[in-house]
Structure 1
Amino acid sequence: MASNVTVQSVLEKISVDHLECSICTNRFRQPKLLDCLHSFCLQCLQELRQSQDPRGTKLTCPLCRCETTLKGSGVADLPNNVAFSALVEEVTMQEKLLKGQGSDIKCQNCDEENQAISRCMDCDHFLCQECQKAHGRIAVVKSHKIYTLAQLRSGEIVYKSKLREEVPKCGKHQDQNLNVYCNTCAQVICTTCSVLDHAKHSLIGLPVAFDKCKKKVEELVAKVGKNKTELNTTIEKTCISRNKLHIMFANTKKKISEKADQEVAKIRQEEQKLLKETDRIYQKRVTTFDAAQSNNSKDVTQTKHKLDEVKRLMNQASCYEILELQQKLLHNLSELTGKQPQQVPDKLTFMDFEEGERSLGRLILKEEPKAAAKQSPRPARSCVKEKWELKTDIKNFELGNTRLRHVSALSDNNIVLTNLKNTLFTVSLTNIQHTPSIIPQRLQINGLTDDVRCTAVSKDDKLLALDGPVVKFFNRQHQLLHQFTPGRGSDSQPTCLAVDDSNLIAVGYEDEEEISLHNPDGSIIRRLPAPMVGGYLAMYNHRLFYTTFQNKRLVCADYYGASVFSVDMTSNMQGDWHPTGVCCDSDGSIYVAVGGYSTGFILHYSPDGKYIGCVIEGCGSPRGITFTSGGDLVVAAGLSVKVYHRV
C-alpha cells in the first residue's frame, strides 16, 4: 500500500533549530550533552572552555548559565548525544535524496560514476544498476536489503541511521558489549567488568534497569507537570489579583478626587500629596506583582524546556544512552519538583481612602478589624511558653494493670483509645464539666480483630485503625468502608499510624525503620527512611513527626524523606525518662509526651523544633496525645485520660 508520507513532509516536521548548535548555528557535529540537558558541538564546547576558564573544572552553559562539572579529559568526556547525531545524519540523507530529484546521484560501490538507482541499507551505499545486479549474484551480499531511490524519496521507506542500532563497547574491554547495569555505581558495564570490578555490587540486566529508569522518569515528569500547572495557576491568580489591585487603585483615586473637589481651595496641596503617595505605593506593589509574574513565567519556560528535552531523550535515545544519563535526568527532574511558585500576598491588593473631618483624609493600606484594632497583638503560641490547666481526669476504665497507649479525637467531641492489650474504648467529652462521673465504653466494631495497635481520625471524620498489618477505614456509624495492607509483605508489621488534612496516610515500621506514605485509597506514594521510628507518629503541613524512645530525639522529615530537623531531647528531661506520644496544634506547635518511672510531663516545641518549655507536669504515665476540635489537649495517661485546656 503506497504511503502518503513524502520526504518533503518529513523535513517540514523537523525543526531546523533542533538540529543546529546554538553556538556555531551549524548542524551538530559530535554533539555533547551538558548537565542541564543542552547540547552543543564538541569543538564549540572546547572553544567555549578556552574562553571561560581553560584550566577550570566547571563549564557554564551559554543558554541557561547552569554549570557542568568536567571530569577526566574535560569536554571530550562529556556524554555523546547519540540521538542528535543520528537525527542529523537521517535528515542530511533525506535532503540529499530530495535534492537528487532531477539530478544524478552517483554509485558509491564502483568507480564508473554510473547513475545510482537504489541504495543498499546494509552496505550503506548508493548502487547503480550493474552493482545492484551484482548484489543479487554474490552470496555474501545477496540477502542485503535494497530499496529504490523512489521509495526513499517518497518516504515509503524511512532511512534510519546505524547509530541508533550501534551497541556501545566497553571502554576497558573493546571487544565487549555493554550489557549489564550496576546499581551501585549507576553505570552500564560489560560482563568482564561485572566480574572483575563489580562482583560485590548490585547488578541487573539492561531491560530491567531501563524499565526502572523509565518508570522513575515518568513519575518525576508527572510531578513536574503538576508543578508546571501550579505555576500557571499562580500566574493566573496573580494576574487576577493585579487587576483587582488596579480596580481598587482606580476607585481609591476616585474617592480622593471626589472629596478634594469639595475643598479644592483649601486642600489641593494635601490632595496632591495623597495622590503622590498612592501612586508610589501602587507602583511599588505593581512592581511586586510583575516581579512575581516574571519569576513564575521564567520558571514555566525553564520547566517546559527541561520537560521537552527529557521527553525527546526518552523517545529518541537508546536504552544505553538513557541509562548513562539516568543520574542527570533524575537530578534535573528532581530540581523541578522542588520549584515553588512565587506567591504575592493577597493583602497587597487592598487599598482604600478614609475621609477626615479636619483634613482631606488618610490612605488605608490594610484591612483593620474594628473590634481588635486597639488591642495589642498576641504573640504566636509557637514562640511563647504556655500555661495549661487540668480540665478533667477520666478514670473507671476496665484496664486492670494494662495502660492506655493511643488516643484519637473525632469532631463530635468523642475520643477513641487503645490500650496495651489492643482493646478499644470510647469517651464523650461533651459537657464533661457538668458530668460528675464519666464512664468509658468499650468499643466493639465489626471487622476489627483483637490486634488493633493504634487509631487515627481523618479530616472528614473517618476512623482509621491499624489492625495487625492492615489499615481499615470506618465511617461514623463504625461501618467498614475499605482497607489496605501497606507493608512489603506478610512479615511487615506496622507500629504507628497518622493521617493529615489532605487525607494522606503515613504508616511507620519500627523493625524496618521506614515510613510508607499512601493516598487516601491506600495506594503507595513512596517509602521514606525513618531511623529509630517507634510507636508514635504525627503529620502536619506536609511534614512527618516522630519520637525515638531509646536515643530520646524528636525527628521531623518532609514527605520526600528529607530531614527537616532532629532534636536531642536529653537536656529537656531527666535521665530515666523517654519521649512517647507527639502531636501538632493548629498553628504547627509541637507537643511531646515524656514518661518516667514516677510521673510524666508534656514538652512544647516550636514548628521549627526549638524548645519552648514544659507546659504540663505530673500527668501520670503519658503515652498517646492529641488535640480535640475545640483545642483541648487529651493525654492517654496510664490508667486514665486527662484533658487539659490552655489558660
Structure 2
Amino acid sequence: MASKMSSDDFDDQFLTCPVCMLHFRDPRVLPCLHTFCKGCLEEWATKQQPLECPTCRTQVNLPDQGVDGLRTNFYINNLLDFAAAKKGAEPGVPCQVCEGGRGDAKSWCIDCAVLLCESCTAMHRKIPATRDHELVPQEVMKEKKGVERFQRKRHCQKHKNQELVFYCETCKALVCTACTVIDHRPGKDHNPVEIATVAQKKKETLQELLQEIDPRLKEIQVSIEEVDKKMSKLVPSKDAATKQTKAYFHQLAELLQKREQEILSQIDEQCQVDGKALQTKKEEIEFELAGLTSAQTFCQQAVEHGSDVHILEVGNQVQTRVETLLAKQVDLESNWSEFQFIENTTVTFFDEKAKNLGGLKTAVDVSKCKVVVKPAVQGLQCVSVLTTINKEGRPCVTNSKAVTTNMKYPSGTSLTTQLQMKHGGVWEISYVPKVTGSHKLEVKVYSQQVGGSPFDVTVQSRDIPVLTIGKEGSGVGELKDPTGVAVDKDGNLAVVEQVNKRVQIFDANTGHSLKYFPIEGEYPFDIAVKRNGQFILTSWGENYGARYYSQEGERLNTFKPDCMIHALGVTAMEDGRMVVAGGTQKSCLLLKPDGSLIREIGMGLLQNPCFIAVNESHDLLLVTDNRLHKVFVFDLDGEFKFSFGEEGQGEGQFQGPSGITLDQAGNIIVVNYDDGRVQVFGPDGMYIRTVATVKGGKPYGILLTHDGYIAVACYEGHCIKLYRYN
C-alpha cells in the first residue's frame, strides 16, 4: 500500500511527532503501532514507569535495550525522505554536502538520505564506498508520485557494508549474506530465507487481515453513528428530565408549605380559644376573690371597731355570709396544659422516605443486576463486582449516585467501601476487612436491593485458601491427581487431571464445574492456553507428546518431535511459539507453532526441569529444577543468565520447586512440592516474601489469575486452592 501513496496522500501532520510536534527524528514504533521520536520516548520513559503510550495509554514493556530496542518506523523515514526530496527539487535549495558551494540540489541519494548538487553527484559516483548508491534525479524528484523509490537500504548491524537480504525464520531476525555463513548458517538451529519470499507470505497474511478489517470498520462506524444519534438526544433528555424533576419537587414543596400553613393556622386558633377560656376562668376566680375579700374586710371592722350592740345586730349576717363563701365549692384549677408541635413523621424517617420521592428511570433493570462476591482476605484490598443490566440482559451504564453499597463487620459496625466504575455497566466494590469472619455486603441500585443482597462475605486469614475447588473423585466437579492449571480465554480455570485423563473447566469465582473433555497420553501433566484460545496439553510415559485441543475439547494435532522424549511443563508465547520442559531429556525445547524444534535450552545445566514460565518482554525463560532445588533463567537464544535458590526450609530456599509463574512486574512466584511454601522473588532472583503455605496437597502447577489470586494444583489433595496474592 505504501507504494501507491503520493505526496498528496499525506500532510505535514502525518510526519509530525505527537509529543514534540516536530518532524520525526529517528521514529520508533511502540507495540500499539503509534510512532514517536526516539528522543521523545527516552524522555517520556524517564518520567513514567511503567511506560505508557502517550497517545493511547497502552502500557509498554520495553525490551532490555530500552527505547533502542524498539523497531524503527522505516516507512515514516521513507516518507520524510520523499518530502525532503520534493522540497529539494524546488529552485534555490542548496546541496546538503557542499552546503550550496557548488550549486543547487539536483539529485537525492537514497542510501545516504541527502540532497546532492551536480558536482557532488559526480563525486558520489566515483568514490568506491558510494558508487553503488541509488541516486534519484531531479526530474523524478519533481514528480508527485514515486514514494517507492525513496526506501533506504537496510544494512546489517554487525556487517555494516552488507545489506539485509535474508530472514532467519528460526530467530525471527533480518540478516545479511555474511550472517548466513557465520551466525545463521542453515541447519538444525537456523533457517535463513530470502526476504522477498517471507515478505510475500507476510503480505498475504496482512492482506487477509485487511479484508477482515473493512467489515469491522463498517460495523464500528455504524455503532459510532448510533452513539452520535443517542448523544444528540442526551441534552434534550436531560432538559426534559430536569424540567419534570423541578415540577415534581415544586409540587411537593407546595404541599409541604400548605401543610405548614395549616398547622400554623391551627396553632393560632388554639391559642385564641385557650386564651378566651383562661380569661373566663380568671374572671370567675377574681369574682370569688372580691366577694371573700369584701366579707373579710367587713368582718374584721366589726370585730375590731364595732360595739356590742353593732356586733349583735350584724353578727349573724356576717357569720352567714362568710360561712357561705367558705363553704362554696369553687374550681380554682385552670385545666389547661401547654400545647406543642408533634412530629407525626420524624425528619429522619422523612429523609429515608424522601429518597423514594421520585427517581431516575433508565434502561437498568434492577431485578437483573448481578453481584459477584470475590473471595476476601483479612488486611488486603478485596473486591466484589456489580454489573448493572438492562431489560435486554446486557450490561448498561448508570450514574454513580444510583448505586449505594454498605458493608457490616460481624459485630454489625460499618466498614468503608469504595465504588468505582471499571467499564460500561461494571462496577468494582472494594474494601479492606480488618477481621476475619462473616461480613454482610448490601448493594442497592436506585434504592432497590439487588437480588441476593445483603450478601455473605466470608473473610479468611492470609494462610487459609479463599476458595478450594474440587474433591477426590471422578464425577463432575471432582478431581483426581490434578497437575497443571491455566486460565482459559474466558477467565475460567482449566485443570489437568492425571488419573481421570481429562481437562475440567471451572468458574474461577464460584468454583463450579462448567464442562470437561477427555485427553490423550498415559500421564497428562501440564496445560497452556494459546492466544487464539486453543489448549496445549503435555504428557509423559507411553504415547507422550504435546497436543493441541480446541476450546470445545476436540483434539487438533499431536507433536512428537525427535528431540522430545519427555514432556512436562509447557507455556505458550504470544507469537505462537511454545516451550516444553523435558525431565528425562534434562532440557527445555523452544518449538515453532507446528511443533518443530527451534533450539534446545539448558542441556548440561538442568537435571530435572519441571515447570516453566516466559518473560516475553525481556525474552527470558525461567524453569524450576526439582532435583537441584533451583530456578534457572535463560534467554530465548539459549544462553544461561543466572540461577537462584538452594535446598532448605529458610526464606528463599526450596524443597523440590515445582510450579512457577510471573506477576505483571516480572516478579517470580514459585511453589515447593515438598513443603508447600509459595514464595515470591524479584526479577533478579532476590527473595521478597512468602505468600502462603499450602498444607497437605503436594502442589504442582500454579498460576496467577487476572484478578490477583494464586491458583495451586494440589496433586495429593485432589483440589485447586486459591490464595490472595496482593
Normalising by the residue count of structure 1, what TM-score does the alignment of the two structures yield?
0.40
User: Could you say which structure has the larger radius of gyration?
Assistant: 2
Q: Which protein, 1 or 2, shows the higher relative CO under an 8 Å CA cutoff with sep ≥ 6?
A: 1
